[in-house]
Amino acid sequence: METLPLEPWTGESATEVIRASLQAGRDVVSANKGPVAHALDDLRSLAVRHGVSYRFESAVADGLPVFNLIEHTLPAAGITEISGLFNSTSNVVLDALAEGVSLSDAIAQAVSEGIAETDPSFDLDGLDAAVKLSALCAAVWGRRLPLENVEVEPVDESVRARAVAARESGGRLVSMGTISLVDGAPANARVRLADIKPENMFYPLRGASLGLCIKSELLCPVSVMSHRPTVKDTAYGLLSDILSMARGSYPTRGTRLAYDAG
Amino acid sequence: METLPLEPWTGESATEVIRASLQAGRDVVSANKGPVAHALDDLRSLAVRHGVSYRFESAVADGLPVFNLIEHTLPAAGITEISGLFNSTSNVVLDALAEGVSLSDAIAQAVSEGIAETDPSFDLDGLDAAVKLSALCAAVWGRRLPLENVEVEPVDESVRARAVAARESGGRLVSMGTISLVDGAPANARVRLADIKPENMFYPLRGASLGLCIKSELLCPVSVMSHRPTVKDTAYGLLSDILSMARGSYPTRGTRLAYDAG
């Protein structure tokens, strides 16, 4: 089980630790999105070669079934777009800014609620969500998405007026990530501030809540959301990976997701 | 593949057809909730005895992954409650009533949009949602829930004032189904009209959209929603069952869901 801190630009040292474990013939369960974003193909090949499993349900959106959802419940759907609220700190801070609170007070409030880390710059500058988009891209489409190809719009003091205006017009300014597949390649990868109205499916997601919407060729848009998860829910994602291994999840023929050799 | 019309009180003749097919050694994929609600244990035993599969992803909420979601992505979560918008006709009609439209005009509008059947009484009296609750109860908890044990609140002319009042106070009157597991037995099974506000996760579900929320012991509430599905999405659910069989979905040890003997 691997839960090292994330180094967003390289995915190290987690990737090295996972690589060594797989080479030693050990199954790996990881909550880390870095290795998925940067080295999924390598790690998957290693797992196959050594007859072990590498699973990472908690890598995006804590215990919310994301990778398992796509792998097990959306066969052959032809996924074309994934969008969602991937970073709760950004959205908690934006909601506070919309109430007229200063950025530093908004951050302090998010920290005191246990949602933001003491230094939330990695969340607020959009990089956390960008790594998640990259991990989804690798896992869902088997394509590398370099972080520098993700357009990011940070949450800072300058967006307060937009947050207030959105609230006053009955909406809500949120940080939303989007990625599509166009002609077989990742496209339109961005983390942007969007003014959403109550009719938008993401509108009710407050506090630490996260959610994503999957568009596909065969099925209508499907969304999946977790409501106010905590660190316990990240732990559930790890548990669910261990249980999937224990009950011998089937090999994902025809899909590009978490691979169990067994 | 079985897509016969539903007889809500007995689940026949679909159940008989499925039983005969399983006995003849044929895999069965069904979009029918009646057999799940009334005879799941029997049909599952038959499938095991004859070494075949019986799957029914489309039985509740069209192609939305419901049974596969629970089976494959929420292992050992200890599900305690399921609630949701299970009947789009009721909610489309309620939204029209809220605009001041008469019941007959609201129904005509829903029929013309292809959402309601010409005789929508089965939907509007809450019975359709009740059968879905019963099917979920059987599949998720392995417990029978007789339809007469589900408290239903119909959508009729008399609720128009409530629908209008809900809209005027910034909310929305919807028909919501709920069921919990209390001390190992199904409890609080009801299909009721609820005034929900924009903060409610179901608020954005308009038109034919459906969704449900799953509460559990180990995980925070998780919801899954389909946005404006059509009959094509029901077909996708059938396809997804066939693909699950083709790739040899693992036996659901320790769960009570759709069972593949192979």
Taking residues B41-48, report their average pLDDT: 95
- Which pLDDT band, with edges at 50, 70 and 90, does B228 fall under? very high
Q: Under a CB-based contact definition with an 8 Å cutoff, are residues A212 and A224 in contact? A: yes
How many angstroms separate the first and last alpha carbons of chain B?
Answer: 18
Q: Say yes or no to pLDDT of B226 above 80.
A: yes
Contact A222 B221 (CB under 8 A): no
Q: If residue A122 lies in a helix (H) or strand (E), which one and from where to where?
A: helix A121-124
CA distance A130 to A112: 25
User: Which chain A residues contact residue B226 at CB under 8 A?
Assistant: 219-222
CA distance B44 to B54: 7
Closest CA in chain B for residue A243? B75
- Give me the pLDDT at residue B257, please: 54
Tell me whether A161 touches chain B (CB under 8 Å).
no
Tell me whether B51 touches chain A (CB under 8 Å).
no
Q: Count other C-beta atoms under 10 Å from residue B254's C-beta.
A: 10
User: Which chain A residues contact residue B222 at CB under 8 A?
Assistant: 64-65, 224-227
Mutate to test the interface with B, among A223, A239, A257, A260 (most CBs of B within 10 A): A223
Q: For A60-99, what is each residue's pLDDT tens digit?
A: 998 899 999 998 899 999 999 999 999 999 999 999 999 9
Phi, psi of B110 (to 5 degrees): -65, -35
Tell me whether B253 touches chain A (CB under 8 Å).
yes
Contact A65 B233 (CB under 8 A): no
Taking residues A100-113, report their average pLDDT: 94
Buried b vs exposed e over A66-104: b needs ≥16 C-beta within 10 Å? bbbbbbbbbbbbebebbbbbbbbbbbbbbbbbbeebebe
Taking residues B161-189, report their average pLDDT: 97
CA distance A63 to B212: 17
What is the rounded average pLDDT for all residues in chain B? 92
Tell me whether B206 touches chain A (CB under 8 Å).
yes
- Give me the pLDDT at residue A224, please: 97
Mutate to test the interface with B, among A219, A255, A260 (most CBs of B within 10 A): A219
Bigger pLDDT: B230 vs B188: B188
Burial class for B17, CB neighbours closer than 10 Å (0-12, 13-18, 19+)? middle
Q: Count other C-beta atoms under 10 Å from residue A106's C-beta.
A: 27
Taking residues A249-260, report their average pLDDT: 46
DSSP H helices, A198-252, are 231-246
CA distance B193 to B171: 12
- Give me the pLDDT at residue B78, please: 95
- Give me the pLDDT at residue B1, please: 84
Q: Say yes or no to pLDDT of A255 above 90.
A: no
- Give me the pLDDT at residue B168, please: 97
Distance of residue B32 Cα from the nearest chain A Cα, in angstroms? 19
User: Which chain B residues contact residue A64 at CB under 8 A?
Assistant: 222
CA distance B230 to B208: 8
- Give me the pLDDT at residue B261, please: 47
Q: 């954005």: which residue's tokens?
A: B204
- Which pLDDT band, with edges at 50, 70 and 90, does B197 fall under? very high
Q: Tell me which residues of A are annotated as active site.
A: 132
Give me A72's structure tokens: 């097990």
Q: Which residues contact A57 (CB under 8 A, 6 or more apart)?
A: A63, A65, A66, A67, A68, A237, A238, A240, A241, A244, A258
B222 vs A72, A73, A226: nearest CB: A226
Contact B220 A240 (CB under 8 A): no
The one-character DSSP state at A126 is S
Mutate to test the interface with A, among B83, B202, B205, B219 (most CBs of A within 10 A): B219
Q: Say yes or no to pLDDT of B118 above 90.
A: no
What is the rounded average pLDDT for all residues in chain A? 92
Q: Say yes or no to pLDDT of A52 above 80.
A: yes
**Span of A77-86, A215-224, A228-237 with lowest mean pLDDT:** A228-237
- Give me the pLDDT at residue B249, please: 59
- Which pLDDT band, with edges at 50, 70 and 90, does B252 fall under? very low
Q: Say yes or no to pLDDT of B258 above 70.
A: no
Question: Where in chain B are the domains?
Answer: 14-72+231-246, 79-226
Tell me whether B120 touches chain A (CB under 8 Å).
no
Taking residues B128-145, report their average pLDDT: 96
Closest CA in chain A for residue B205? A201
User: Which chain B residues contact residue A230 at CB under 8 A?
Assistant: 220
CATH topology of domain A79-226: Dihydrodipicolinate Reductase; domain 2 (3.30.360)
How many angstroms separate the first and last alpha carbons of chain A?
Answer: 18
Give me B146's structure tokens: 């007789």
CA distance A49 to B121: 58
Contact B227 A226 (CB under 8 A): no
Report A:71-110 residues touching B (Cβ under 8 A): 72-77
Distance of residue A135 Cα from the nearest chain B Cα, in angstroms? 19
* % of chain A with per-residue pLDDT over 90: 83
CA distance A163 to A169: 10
Q: Say yes or no to pLDDT of B10 above 60.
A: yes
- Give me the pLDDT at residue A83, please: 98
- Which pLDDT band, with edges at 50, 70 and 90, does B9 fall under? confident
- Give me the pLDDT at residue B251, please: 45
Q: Count other C-beta atoms under 10 Å from residue A262's C-beta.
A: 12
Closest CA in chain A for residue B234? A219
CA distance B3 to A246: 35
Taking residues A32-48, report their average pLDDT: 95
DSSP H helices, A158-257, are 160-168, 231-246
Contact A203 B198 (CB under 8 A): yes
- Give me the pLDDT at residue A141, please: 96
- Give me the pLDDT at residue A249, please: 59
Tell me whether A26 touches chain B (CB under 8 Å).
no
ipTM: 0.91
**Span of A65-74, B4-13, B210-219 with lowest mean pLDDT:** B4-13
Q: Which class is B14-72+231-246 in CATH?
A: alpha beta
- How far CA B242 is from CA of A74, B54, B71, B249, in Å, comes to 12, 10, 16, 10
Q: Which residues contact A31 (CB under 8 A, 6 or more apart)?
A: A2, A3, A56, A58, A59, A234, A237, A238
Number of H helices, E strands in chain A: 9, 8
- How far CA A124 is from CA of A91, A128, A130, B141, in Å, comes to 9, 8, 11, 42
CA distance B83 to B171: 18
Taking residues A1-19, report their average pLDDT: 87
- The yes/no answer on whether domain A14-73+231-246 falls in CATH 3.40.50.720 is yes
- Which pLDDT band, with edges at 50, 70 and 90, does A257 fall under? low
Q: For A124-159, what is each residue's pLDDT tens digit?
A: 999 999 999 999 999 999 999 999 999 999 999 999
Q: For A233-253, what is each residue's pLDDT tens digit?
A: 999 999 999 998 888 754 443
- Give me the pLDDT at residue B218, please: 95
Distance of residue B148 Cα from the nearest chain A Cα, in angstroms? 32
Supply the DSSP string of B210-261, one letter for each residue.
EEEEEEESSS--EEEEESS--HHHHHHHHHHHHHHHHTTPPP-TT--SS-B-
- Smallest CA-to-CA distance from B87 within B125, B42, B119, B43 is with B125
CA distance A105 to A97: 9
Q: Say yes or no to pLDDT of B256 above 80.
A: no
Distance of residue A229 Cα from the nearest chain B Cα, in angstroms? 5
B243 vs A75, A199, A227: nearest CB: A75
Q: Say yes or no to pLDDT of B199 above 50.
A: yes
- For helices B33-49 and B14-23, the axis angle rounded to 10 degrees is 10
B227 vs A73, A220, A254: nearest CB: A220
Q: If residue B180 lies in a helix (H) or strand (E), which one and from where to where?
A: strand B172-182
Q: Under a CB-based contact definition with an 8 Å cutoff, are residues B175 and B162 in contact? A: no
Give me A255's structure tokens: 């899909």
